Amino acid sequence: MSCALCGGKNAPNSALTLPPVCPTRHLTSHLFMNIHFERRTDRPDTQGRCVIHLRATFDGQGLRLATGEQCIAADWKDKQGWFRKSFTDLDNATLRLKAQRNRLEDAYST
């Protein structure tokens, strides 16, 4: 694996250090991905439900993906970016969102 900024090879034994360090000592923040979920309140449907989007930032880039999940404001915790326990399909929605998050992390790490 090489540094996304300089193309240089990682330091020796990079498999033992997390995260890998660029030998030229570039900031390592470009090696991390930040993923969170947000409820898009700008386009509610006729029942007041809004789409849940996955937001990811990595390598100075941003990505927003529709998850296919929807909920009303009363079922969403803005600060935590997750469903309230009162959400009727909580278990299935949690499984689906975690699976999407895992797929994105796997795609980014390869």
Q: What is the pLDDT of residues 55-99, one digit of tens each?
A: 999 878 899 999 999 999 999 999 999 999 999 999 999 999 999
DSSP-derived letter for residue 13 is: T
Task: Considering only residues 107 and 46, tell me which one the structure prediction assigns the higher pLDDT.
Answer: 46
Total-model pTM:
0.67
Average pLDDT, the chain: 78
Asked whether 55 and 39 are in contact (CB, 8 A), the reply is no
pLDDT of amino acid 95: 95
Three-state DSSP at 78 gives: coil
How far CA 94 is from CA of 57, 62, 73, 79, in Å, comes to: 21, 23, 17, 17
Neighbours of 44 (CB within 10 A): 15
**pLDDT for 69:** 95
Tell me what pLDDT residue 31 has.
60
Can you point out the beta strands (E) in the chain? 34-39, 50-58, 61-71, 76-77, 82-83
Answer whether 90's CB lies under 8 Å from 83's CB.
Answer: yes
b/e code 4-29 from CB counts within 10 Å (16+ = b):
eeeeeebeeeeeeeeebebeeeeeee
Q: Residues 5-28: pLDDT tens digits?
A: 444 444 443 333 334 444 444 444
